[in-house]
Amino acid sequence: MTVVIPDYIAPLIPWVRGIIGLVLIGAIFIAAMGAVWIERKLSADIQSRVGPCRVGKYGIFQLVADAIKLFTKEDIKPQNADSLLFNNANIFMIGSVFLVLVALPVGAVFINGVEYPLAVTEMDISVLYIEAVSALSIFGIFMVGYGSNSKYSLLGAFRNFARMVGYEVPLGISIISVAVMTGSLNIVDITSAQGLYWNIFLQPLGCFVFFVSLMADMGRLPFDQNESEEEIIAGWITEYSGMRFGLGFFAEYMHMVLGSFLVALLFLGGWNVPGFIANNSFLGLIAPTGFLLIKTIFVLMVIVGIRWVVPRFRIDQVVDLSWKKMFPLALLNLVWAVGLGLYLGA
């Protein structure tokens, strides 16, 4: 989709995108904190327990209390650990989040009916870029597992490899299916092309494959075999303590927020709003991003809810599910997407 940018707006775009980038860095940390709070409170409601409620109203300062605790705990390193790998693993985990933010639009504004995505940059292959850089976190997990000099951490890291390799394939195919139907690998074009006819209705099977594969890719229950407490203590993060431990899990929640954005953008219509809202001088500035955030929060709550209603799978069941179930379904959806794309293009 080509947008004609007025002459008086064009010089401001680099500055606006720079501001968006700075805002996103802070917003992703706040969103991850909110995800932790949602997880705790929603989980407490599902399990009929009180949950964190003594630190601030409704426990909103619980994460702050946890952070203070982790900052003040002793940073312990195993005796024969590889210092280079052990000390720098969190850079890959957190860094992959920032690399995703480079191309991930978090909303849009409509000025005089013209759509301006809120993204740091636009790429012709942004969906492939996002998938690629989000997978960089696996290097951080392997650095922890291998550098800890612990069999439990190493076993957890290899489980993570087995899971991610199996689910990256159907995840990628489901993304390609959406791109084939849309005719673009640009996530902005894919979102804009949906209009009020969301891709979840055009490709329900593709949405299912994408969501399940995304859950596995993030290591969320029932796909958290890399840290199954009853089998391998805490998996890859066993030897981490203090704030290293906290950053490792915080990165998981950051990826969960970004994954919820992807589901909303690729399959739930993103920021698309009816024309009368887009043409309104006030609503066009706030409503599209607001719609996207509501959809993202809904997906986030579904991800949290699934954690407490589905039992954890064994690692062999996880691998079988990816190669014997998700992969064939992804190929079937790709054939459907090609046919649907030809039909809609005609």
Cα(239)–Cα(150) distance, integer angstroms = 8
Report CA-CA distances (Å) from 225 to 40, 222, 315.
Answer: 21, 8, 6
Residue 189 has a pLDDT of 92
Strands in the chain per DSSP E: 108-111, 114-117
Beta-ladder partners of 108: 117
pLDDT tens profile 185-213:
999 999 988 877 899 999 999 999 999 99
- At residue 18, the pLDDT reads 67
Strand ranges (E), 59-159: 108-111, 114-117
Residues 23, 25, 30, 31, CA torsion sign: positive
* Exposed/middle/buried for residue 11 (C-beta within 10 Å: 0-12, 13-18, 19+): exposed
φ/ψ of 77, rounded to 5, equals -125, 130
pLDDT at 72: 86
pLDDT at 222: 83
Q: φ and ψ at 115, to 5 degrees?
A: -85, 130
HSE (side-chain half, CA atoms, 13 Å) at 252: 23
Residue type, 129: Y
- Enumerate residue ranges in the chain where pLDDT < 70: 1-18, 226-232, 345-346
Q: Minimal CA–CA distance to 66: which of 252, 245, 233?
A: 245
